[in-house]
């Protein structure tokens, strides 16, 4: 564990907690470290999960299998990353996804009930831990809501405008940089990259937006003007 302390400290769940306190906290949480071979499951669909996982080394894929057995990868988690927190904390009785090691992996497992219950010994950093967990869930919530707002639009143009509007409001400026390249933006908006590129070109021709690379600038007037 010693060797992974820096990785654990990098996990947002432990924000604001120093190395020394962290060691005490992990013991208070009865966190356990386990090793998984490539391809083996940390959680399997159908399981009841009460733990969250922190990747110490290696990597983990979150997989989903639909009714007909079609598999898809929902996420890839790297060292320092957290997984399983939504399903554990939501107290779902049967996991709808699986988590599998993509290579030999070391995982720290922590029971979410230990996290959200203040310990009898009242360790100082437990309140910070709870606040971190709540913040992580809430931030993901905000990000997901924002994405749905974009993806739920009917046309590529509406999706782009919705996304660019959100970025402009976030930057509090009509000029801003986006954290995606074209392919990533297309994936985020769930549209075809080339069709999106064409739509961006038309929007530029109409004077709605200017852009170069990942820097965008929105015209101040309404899109219709």
Residue 181 lies near DNA (rule: CB under 7 A) = yes
The H or E element containing residue 72 is strand 71-77
What is the rounded distance in angstroms from the CA atom of residue 213 to the CA atom of residue 222? 23
CA dist., res. 15 & res. 8, Å (int): 10
Q: By CB under 7 A, name the one of 71, 213, 220, 225 that touches DNA.
A: 213
89 binds its own copies (CB under 8 A): yes
CA-to-CA separations, 23 to 15, 16, 52, 110, in angstroms, rounded: 14, 14, 18, 14
Q: Which of 23, 147, 157, 210 binds DNA (CB under 7 A)?
A: 157
88 binds its own copies (CB under 8 A): yes
Q: Residues 150 to 169: which contact its own copies by CB under 8 A?
A: 151-154, 161-162, 164-166, 168-169
103 binds DNA (CB under 7 A): no
Residue carrying structure tokens 């995606």: 180
**Per CB under 7 A, does 155 bind DNA?**
yes
40 forms part of the interface with its own copies (CB under 8 A): no
Note whether 66 binds its own copies by CB under 8 A: yes
CB contact set of 206 (below 8 Å; sequence gap of 6+): none
**196 near DNA (CB under 7 A):** yes
């Amino acid at each position: 564990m010693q060797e992974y302390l820096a990785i654990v400290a990098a996990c947002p769940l432990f924000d604001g907690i120093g190395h020394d306190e962290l060691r005490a906290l992990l013991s208070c949480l009865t966190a356990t470290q386990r090793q998984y071979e490539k391809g083996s499951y940390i959680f399997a669909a159908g399981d009841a999960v009460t733990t969250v996982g922190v990747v110490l080394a290696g990597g983990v894929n979150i997989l989903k299998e639909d009714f007909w057995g079609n598999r898809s990868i929902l996420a890839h988690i790297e060292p320092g990353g957290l997984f399983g927190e939504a399903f554990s904390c939501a107290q779902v009785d049967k996991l709808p996804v699986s988590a599998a090691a993509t290579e030999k992996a070391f995982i720290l497992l922590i029971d979410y009930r230990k996290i959200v219950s203040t310990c009898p010994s009242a360790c100082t950093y437990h309140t910070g831990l709870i606040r971190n967990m709540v913040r992580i869930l809430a931030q993901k919530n905000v990000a997901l809501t924002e994405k749905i707002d974009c993806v739920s639009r009917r046309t590529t143009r509406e999706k782009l405008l919705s996304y660019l509007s959100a970025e402009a409001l976030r930057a509090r400026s009509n000029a801003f940089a986006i954290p995606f390249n074209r392919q990533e933006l297309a994936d985020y908006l769930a549209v075809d990259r080339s069709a999106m590129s064409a739509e961006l070109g038309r929007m530029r021709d109409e004077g709605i937006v200017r852009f170069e690379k990942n820097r965008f600038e929105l015209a101040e007037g309404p899109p219709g003007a």
